[in-house]
Amino acid sequence: MARLFPKIYFHPDIVDADKASLSVASSAVLYGLSVYTVFNIHEQDGEWLAFRLGDHYKRLVDSCRIIGITTFENEWTYEQFEGAVRETVRANNPHEDVFVRASVHVDELLPGTRTKGLHTTLSLFLLEAAPIVPQEGMRLKTSMWRRIPDNAIPSRAKVNGAYVNSALARQDAMDAGYDDCVFLDVSGHVCELSAANIFLVRDGVLVTPNNSCDLLEGINRRTVLEIARDQGVPVEERTVDVTELYIADEVFVCGTSSYLAPVFEIDGRDINHRQFGPLTRQLREIHRAALDEPSEKGWLTKL
Ligand code: PMP
């Protein structure tokens, strides 16, 4: 279990972790009606740097819009959100890198299954930055569970209730002895993992499923694409077949809690002789530096 830091922001207060509770009769608990995001904070000499905080705020707003949660965007400006993040981090005073999980919960009691005009509460908490997938070569299994399509529960929105889909597929992969799943969409094309985006390299071209393939529009996915373009690497965002993964020169995944990590095996087939690929290694180093060191990209917000 990842270590939870002791102080939680539960609007409007900072409270002890065991006091940040939602009612069992809330829509958040009953119907999974919360949206969330997770972002990295790098700690250096008593300073905290949040990665792409504005993009995470924007994705929370977008998730709310898709679902029809209207209150968050009206009640929380970016500046207020950043202030709450700062308050939470300072209250916990971490001397290490952490993941921050920010959630917007529909906390009205028993309104039935609807979304608009309902009361919401923002919560923020810190977790130790323990990666959720192996960092030195993971094993994946294509899932028999399909990724929820855009016209069922949109994967583009980071909705808590939708993570039942991820839990089913990841547990199935783990039961079979793998680290995580490869999700396919209803027509059999590759989407992503249970909580990370996927990339492959073929003949020097970096390929990843496009944003219409029932995936979460990952902020690290966008970052990796930008880094690759900056490095002059040809990039394709397009439909990907699972057999392309089998014959790829390199496969890797990325996400906040996954960082950028190589895949060594998919469905019993070795990828790149179970070795780190050169592009994976290059992008991983630049991605890691982007999380830790301020640059002209302006990706890090000092808290
Ligand atoms: N896909 C899913 C389903 C996820 O849960 C995550 C983790 N947030 C990602 C992709 C990666 O997104 P990000 O880079 O924004 O963390």
Confidence of residue 161 (pLDDT cuts 50, 70, 90): very high
Residue 273 CB burial class (10 angstroms; 0-12, 13-18, ≥19): exposed
pLDDT at 178 over 80: yes
Per-residue confidence (pLDDT) for residue 111, from 0 to 100: 65
Instruction: Please list every protein residue whose CB sits less than 6 Å from any atom of ligand 1.
Output: 38, 166, 192, 195-197, 216, 218-221, 255-256
Per-residue confidence (pLDDT) for residue 289, from 0 to 100: 98
Pairing of strands 180-184, 190-192: antiparallel
Q: Within a 13 Å sphere around the CA of 201, how many CA atoms are in the beta-carbon half?
A: 24
Over residues 243-291, the pLDDT tens digits come to: 999 999 999 999 999 999 999 999 999 999 999 999 999 999 999 999 9
Ligand 1: residue whose CA is nearest its atom 10 = 196
Percent of the chain with pLDDT over 70: 100
The residue whose CB lies within 8 Å of the most ligand 1 atoms, and thus the one to mutate among 256, 257, 260, 283, is 256
pLDDT at 228 over 80: yes
Count other C-beta atoms under 10 Å from residue 156's C-beta.
17
User: Do 105 and 121 contact (CB within 8 A), yes or no?
Assistant: yes
Q: What residue type is 94 in one-letter code? A: P
Å from CA of 128 to ligand 1 middle: 17
What atom of ligand 1 comes closest to residue 56's alpha carbon? 15
Ligand 1: residue whose CA is nearest its atom 5 = 195
Instruction: Estimate the crossing angle of helix 219-230 against helix 278-292, to 10 degrees.
Output: 110
Measure the CA–CA gap between 6 and 160, rounded to whole angstroms. Answer: 22
Please give the average per-residue pLDDT across 294-299, as a whole number.
96
Percent of the chain with pLDDT over 90: 94
Ligand 1: residue whose CA is nearest its atom 4 = 195
Nearest by Cα to 47 from 94, 112, 87, 114:
94
> How is residue 285 written in tokens?
């180093």
Å from CA of 217 to ligand 1 middle: 7
What atom of ligand 1 comes closest to residue 256's alpha carbon? 16
Is the whole-model pTM more than 0.85? Answer: yes
Per-residue confidence (pLDDT) for residue 117, from 0 to 100: 87
Count other C-beta atoms under 10 Å from residue 291's C-beta.
22
Measure the CA–CA gap between 256 and 37, rounded to whole angstroms. Answer: 9
Per-residue confidence (pLDDT) for residue 155, from 0 to 100: 96
Confidence of residue 139 (pLDDT cuts 50, 70, 90): very high
The rounded mean pLDDT for the chain is 96
Cα torsion angle, 244, 246, 250, 254, sign:
positive
Please give the average per-residue pLDDT across 45-49, as a whole number.
93
Over residues 67-103, the pLDDT tens digits come to: 999 889 999 999 999 999 999 999 999 999 999 999 9
Please give the average per-residue pLDDT across 230-254, as a whole number.
98
